[in-house]
Amino acid sequence: MTLAGRRPPHQVQQGAALLTAMLIVVLVSSVASAMVWQQWRAVQVESAERARTQSAWILAGALDWARLILREDAKSGGATTLSDPWATPLAEARLSSFLAADKANTDDGPEAFLSGQITDAQARYNLRNLVGSDGKVVPAELATAKRLFESIGVAADLADRLATGLSDALSRPGSEGRSATPPLLPHTVAQLSWLGVDTDTLRRMAPVVVILPTRTPINLNTASREVIAASVDGMDLGTAGRLVQSRERAPFKALSEAQSLIPSSLTLNADRVDVKSSFFEVRGRIRLGDRVLEELSLVERRGLEVLPLQRQRVNLQDAPS
């Protein structure tokens, strides 16, 4: 190359310095962007964790409130009915309107909304009744489950499958007839999928069945006509419907009141039907900002004591805008 085609040394040095400066700027920008993203992500994680913790504490308070309502209701010592205070659902209310000391500054409070409902778990048929204390299937209860399933459009033979699965799950190791690989014991209706129940069938069963820790009767004051008819041998839906209509006018205070309203050929078995309840479900829902958290709790009322038995979060999602 001739001298005329070569660049002066100072121009080459200037070009290299400019290229180095550009590389440094790109590197610094990349590092700064990464730091900003990490900081933003940390803020989002901390915000989500704070919202989750706040929601959990609020729902714990809602459960305590429900237990107080059930405890006060127990002091009456009467029947469990749908006209009791616990049966009135809590409509969605803004928490800041209750928590703010100055009513004029409620807009500065968190956008948290709470709603809840207490339902009688014994308004549904307890699948735990299918298995007796000896771990064997109870024929009378199996017939009850089959009648109930037929009334809601579910195959009656599912009752046999559930009874067998629950019996295996509850039987003691080494007991006669126990499966070599017994299934896990379901504690909720959703967990019946462990026994091979499909999603559509679970959806049909959810309003009429429940799984409780012990055998329980259904409550004539709160159960649907389908559950009542299935629980009383020989009763049809028409007779059960008349019982439902009668309790709406005047809830049953004793089992004898319901017995007087049905044909003498039908007998109300106190082991299978009652007018009082001990198990309740408490559903709490908190909407905090753009998140919704629901929690379902099972409680048992023993005299004036209300004990939580199960707590599960049933839904965690972004709230609709």
Q: What DSSP assignment string belongs to 157-187?
A: HHHHHHHHHHHHHHSPTT-TT--SSPPPPP-
Determine the pLDDT at residue 1.
Answer: 47
244, 219 contact by CB (below 8 A)? no
H or E, element range at 283: strand 279-288
71, 84 contact by CB (below 8 A)? no
Determine the pLDDT at residue 65.
Answer: 87
Name residues whose C-beta falls within 8 Å of residue 82's C-beta, 6 or more positions apart in sequence: 221, 222, 247, 251
Determine the pLDDT at residue 50.
Answer: 66
Determine the pLDDT at residue 48.
Answer: 64
User: Count of CB atoms within 10 A of residue 95's CB?
Assistant: 19
**pLDDT per residue over 6-43, tens digit each?**
666 666 667 777 778 788 888 888 888 888 887 777 77
Determine the pLDDT at residue 207.
Answer: 95
Q: What angle do CA 75, 78, 81 make, to 5 degrees?
A: 110
Determine the pLDDT at residue 177.
Answer: 62
Separation CA 63–CA 296 (nearest Å)? 9
**Exposed e or buried b for every residue in 98-137, given b needs 16+ CB within 10 A?**
eeeeeeeeeeeeeebbbbbbbbbbbbbbbbbbbbeeebbb
The list of the chain residues with pLDDT below 50 reads 1, 3, 101, 106, 318-321
- In this prediction the pTM is 0.79
Amino acid at residue number 78 = G
Express the helix, strand and coil content of the chain in percent, nearest 5 each.
50, 20, 35
